[in-house]
Structures are given as structure tokens and as C-alpha cells.
Amino acid sequence: MDDHLPSGQSVLSYLERMVTYCRMVHRGDLERDYRDAWETAARQLLGPLPNRPPAPAVYTPAEMAPKPPTPKWRTEILAQPVRRIVARFSQQEKDGHGYTTLDYERLECGHIIAAGFNYSESGQPAKRRRCAQCAKEAAAKKQPQPAVKKTKAVSA
Ligand SMILES: [Zn+2]
């Protein structure tokens, strides 16, 4: 007769209640002990669990988030070659109210652009600008004769 012995199930539920109790009174140290005891008892009474399924493959961030295509505006800006500023000048021009002074920059390629910010981040006057007109000319040259490959001219 082993009626006085606790059943396996009652041992497990006792240990489970103790885990909950220890957690509620913030006794993490005891909670861990009771959890270990519960796991040991469960393995003895219920048998070991089958192995975990293999972990899914680890994805690299590049695979998870494919690189977005370069925006058109960026491609267009990068296509503009950087040219040295050779001169700055102002010109009076007529507008709706009278005359207004506009600032221009002449680039080494001969193109004239409206003056941008005169000062770069370092506080020094900008020495170079990207030339949109050179990019336009290069794109126009490329289109009619796609078979002929020419090395891009560095300066005009
Ligand atoms: Zn140019």
C-alpha cells in the first residue's frame, strides 16, 4: 500500500504552485530552484521531450531588407561632374519690379550656373560645383551614337 505517497501529478502541481508563489513574492532565487525541481520531476514522471526542431536559418539583414533602388534625383545628381569654379560675378537683371542683382559662377567647363550657397560646411567658399549642363550634354551625346564608346572628357 502506498496511499501515503504523493502521486507524481500532485508533486508536479505542488512544485508548480511554489514556482508561482515565489514569483509573486519576488523570490527569483527560490523560483529558479523550484523550476529546476519541477523540470527534474517532470522528466522523471513524464519522460524527456523530443528534441527541438532545427532553428530556422539565420537571415542576414541584407536579405531581410533588400536595398532600395537609388532614387532618380540621386542618380541625376551623381551623374553631374564636379567642376572647379573659375569666376564669380553678379549681373543686374530686370524682373517684374525693376532690377535685381543675381549672382553667377563660371565653371572650368565654361558653363555658367546660378550661384549656390557660397559657403560650404567648413566655412570656406565653395571651390567646386556639380555641372548639370555637362551631365545634360553627356547624356545627349550618349543617345544618338550608342555603339561608339568614347572616354568621357575631363574638361571642355
Ligand atoms: Zn559644365
81 and 32 in a common domain: no
Burial readout 60-75 (b: 16 or more C-beta within 10 A, e: otherwise) = eeeeeeeeeeeeeeee
How many CB atoms are located within 10 Å of the residue 81 CB? 19
- The three cell numbers locating residue 30: 527560490
Distance 43 CA to ligand 1 centre (A): 79
- On whether the pTM is more than 0.95, the answer is no
Beta bridge partners of 104: 89, 114
Q: Is the residue at 107 inside a domain?
A: yes
What's the structural domain count of the chain?
2
Q: Determine the distance from the C-alpha atom of residue 151 to the mean position of all C-alpha atoms in its chain, rounded to a whole number.
A: 34
Region of 116 (left: φ > 0; alpha: ψ -120 to 50; beta: rest) is beta
Q: Is the residue at 60 inside a domain?
A: no
83-127 pLDDT per residue, tens: 999 998 988 888 787 888 888 999 999 999 988 765 555 667 788
Distance 90 CA to ligand 1 centre (A): 19
13 pLDDT band, cuts 50/70/90, is very high
91 and 37 in a common domain: no
